[in-house]
Structure formats: C-alpha cells, structure tokens
Amino acid sequence: MTAEPDYCAGIVRTLDRDRYVADLYAPAERRGALFALHAFNAEVARVREAISTPMAGEVRLQWWNDALIGEARGDVAANPVAAALLAAVEAYRLPREALYALIDARIFDLYDDPMPSVADLEGYAGETSSALIRLGCLILGGPADRASADAAGHAGVAYAVTGLLRSFPIHARRGQCFVPLDLLKAHGVGRDEAVSGTPTPGLRAALADLRRLARRHYEEARAALAAVDPATRPAFLPLALVPGDLARMERAHDPFREVPATPPLGRLWRLWRAARRPFPGV
C-alpha cells in the first residue's frame, strides 16, 4: 500500500472540501481513484495562485499534459498526485482526452481575458466541472451512456457557475471576469466596469442572469438524474449545495463583497441528506 491515496485525500480535503465529503460516500475500493482525480483537478485549478506569469502557468499545465502522454520531464512517479491519477486512468480506462481538455480549459484561468459568451462559459464548465462528474461516474462503475452524460453536463455547469459567482469578488479584485461579455453588454455594462469594485444596476442584472442560468442547469440535471445509475450518486452529490449557495448570493446587496458559503455543518448536512435520497432528489 502506497501513501498516494492518503496524500491525494489530504489535498482534496484541504482544497475541495465539497468533493472530498462526496467521495467519502463512494465504495471504499473506489475512493482512492476519486481522490486522485479530484486532487489532480485541485492542482491544475490553483496554478494561477502558484505562478508569477501566465507563461509559467502554461508550463505547469503542459507538464500535466506530458505526464498523461508519458513525456513529462523528471520522474512522474515521484509526484504522488500524477502517479495516483495515472493508476486511476489505467484501472478504470478513463478517457485521457477528457483530461487533456480539462487542462487546456484551465489555460483561460491564467489570463484576464473576458469570457466571450454564455456558450463559452458553458463550454468551460463542461470541460472542467462536468468532465469531473463524468469521469467520477466511470470510476464508480456507471455506464458510459447518454443519460449520465446529460446529467453530468447540466450538473457540472450548475455547480461551476455557482462557484464562479461565489468567487466573483475575488476574481474582480485581480481584474479577472468570468461573467460573459454578451450578458454584460445586454445590460449596458463593460468588462472594465464589471471589475471596477463599484456596483451598478446593470452588473447586478447580469449576475442575476447568471444565477438563473445556474438554476436552469440545476433543474435540468435533477430531471436527467432519473435515468442515471444510482451507483454514480457520489459523483453528483455536490449538486445538492447549489440552491443554498445561490439563495445566499441572491440576498447579498454588494456583489463585490464575498458572500460566506453555507457553513461547514450545513454543507455536511445537505450532502448527507442528498446521499440518503433516491435519485433525482439531489
């Protein structure tokens, strides 16, 4: 027994608590692969915070691409997350193309370019959050069918957009904006105004549109879950946190002030309750 599962679990517990708790509801023999997948995601998601220039971030992301291909410099096996991820890929025949796409999508995080459109935002969420759910379903033994792909697609967008809304004040302070330009323009808001720190009616309206987008995908995910193998439930559990987070942001007056997430005990309770309900009661 190597220390890789414990190492990956520690990363997920620290950096992605929602998925860590959800993974604990998976069968014990599959948790290590889920921890490896989610530790990998945590590592690539925090690249921007660990680098001084976008080019340095691209180099780090390229290392992960090379590791999956088998061309990374240095001993990949010495990186416990990479070693555990590669073991999970082999054990569960995970499609490497989905991991390559996830890494490529994270290049957007390194720059301050605006998100062009709602469709682009949905695509970004699909290649990151939705892909994680789909890969998690495969680890949990679910079939590679259309029903689970549809449910994962909608669930990933709902969860990702909600997370980006929660992080809007943080992103704005560093000049980054995930609010699509087409939404901003529809309400007479420019990209610079959206990160200015000054609330405007137009910005509030654009953020309200994003919340409606997250709710729509949440409801579509719940409907799609009726046809999904219940064995994949742990992959979808974080979806249960979306309504509460959206409701807390709805009540916020200043979009540039961080809205505290649902308290830890409340999040644990929501995940526990979702784990005990039959689909599609997430």
- 174-221 pLDDT, tens digit per residue, is 999 999 999 999 999 999 999 999 999 999 999 999 999 999 999 999
How far apart CA 27 and CA 139 sit, in angstroms, is 10
Q: What is the mean pLDDT of residues 22-29?
A: 97
Question: Which CA distances in Å does 71 have to 1, 41, 65, 66, 211?
Answer: 26, 20, 8, 5, 41
Same domain for 49 and 122, yes or no, is no
- 207 within some domain: yes
Same domain, 79 and 217: no
175 and 252 both lie in a single domain:
yes
Of 66, 94, 122, which residue sits at a domain end? 94
> Which of 66, 221, 61, 227 minimizes the C-alpha distance to 154?
221
Q: What is the domain extent for residue 1?
A: 1-94
* Judgement on whether residues 117 and 90 belong to the same structural domain of the protein: no
Query: Does any domain span residue 106?
Result: no
- Calculate the average pLDDT of the chain: 93
Residue 151 shares a structural domain with residue 57? no
User: Nearest Cα to 208, choosing from 255, 158, 257, 244?
Assistant: 255
| 262 and 150 in a common domain | yes
Quick one: average pLDDT of 219-244? 95
Instruction: Give me the number of domains the chain comprises.
Output: 2
Exposure letters 123-134 (e unless 16+ CB within 10 A, then b) = bbbbbbbbbbbb
Q: How much is the average pLDDT of 255-280?
A: 87
Quick: pLDDT tens for 39-95. 999 999 999 999 989 999 999 999 999 999 876 666 777 899 999 999 999 999 999
Domain boundary among 61, 94, 127: 94
* 149 in the same domain as 67: no
Would residue 260 count as lying in a domain? yes
Residue 233 lies in a domain: yes
Residue type, 77: A
Distance CA(282)–CA(279), nearest Å, equals 7
Higher-pLDDT residue of 28 and 253 is 28
- Separation in Å, CA 52 to CA 15, 100, 101, 102: 20, 23, 24, 22
Mean pLDDT confidence for 144-148 = 90
The two structure tokens encoding residue 51: 């680098």
In a domain, 229, yes or no: yes
Q: Are residues 23 and 71 in the same domain?
A: yes
Q: 186 and 130: one domain?
A: yes
Q: What is the CATH number of the domain that holds 257?
A: 1.10.600.10
Asked, for residue 240, whether it belongs to a domain, the answer is yes
The HSE-up count of residue 254 (CA atoms within 13 Å, CB side) is 9
Q: Which residues are CB-contacts of 271 (< 8 A; sequence separation ≥ 6)?
A: 18, 21, 22, 25, 237, 238, 240, 241
- Residues 215, 80, single domain; the answer is no
The answer to whether residues 154 and 226 touch, using CB atoms and an 8 Å cutoff, is no
The answer to the question of residue 141 being in a domain is yes
Is residue 264 domain-shared with residue 155, that is, in the same domain?
yes
State whether 89 and 136 are in the same domain: no
Domain boundary at 64, 94, 124, which? 94
For residue 107, tell me if it sits in a domain. no
Do the beta carbons of residue 55 and residue 61 sit within 8 Å? no
> pLDDT tens across 96-139, in order?
999 999 999 999 999 999 999 999 999 999 999 999 999 999 99
Give the pLDDT score at 1: 38
d(CA 140, CA 29): 10
